[in-house]
Amino acid sequence: MFAEESKWIWEVIKEGISGRLILDVGAGSPEYRNEKQPYIAKLYRQMAGSGAEIKTFDFNADNGAEITADICDEDLLNKVKQRFDVVIAANILEHVEDIETAAKNLCGLVKSQGRLVVTVPKTLPRHPHPIDNGWRPNAEELAEKFACLMRLIRTESWIDEHYREPYISDANCRRPEVTGGVFIKD
């Protein structure tokens, strides 16, 4: 997650989140959220301070998430019974082997009338952590990916700060453009 991206996520979810259950898919480790990208920790503080409960979901069991699973698991929705008012999937779809199954599962984790917030890099060099499938959609392509699953509320693209993770060694990498979408489950 990028700094401007975390601000955008907060803006699109902050209204009415008191008492809501939020799932951060691809949450990473506490060290990652608190030290490497402290704006994620700030987002978590904003959500918790507004009365929301946050759960974490990650593929890597070593990251200490409440839910450890593969978002591409065909049987995920039978294994994870809980559903969420808000599901955040920030920069994970470029790291999955099966985008269609991941999209279906993300939507399936959302309660009726709940929201799904998805962000993906539109311009960013490949960064294989753990894999990079090369998917870099624009707003229209992101909306199309979820169109048959949920109703689109809004899409947007913005320029964020330079990504300074160790997975990207190109010091000349331009500032990435990020695409975000908010969807609701009717």
C-alpha span between 122 and 136 (Å, rounded): 5
* Number of domains composing the chain: 1
Q: Which of 174, 173, 119 is nearest to 142 (CA)?
A: 119
Q: Which of 81, 24, 29, 14 is nearest to 54 (CA)?
A: 24
* pLDDT single digits (tens) 115-144: 999 999 888 777 777 899 999 999 999 999
What CATH number corresponds to the domain at position 168? 3.40.50.150
Q: What is the pTM of this model?
A: 0.92
C-alpha span between 36 and 30 (Å, rounded): 9
Show the domain range for 129: 3-184
* pLDDT single digits (tens) 47-73: 999 999 999 999 999 999 999 999 999
H/E stretch holding 22 reads strand 21-25
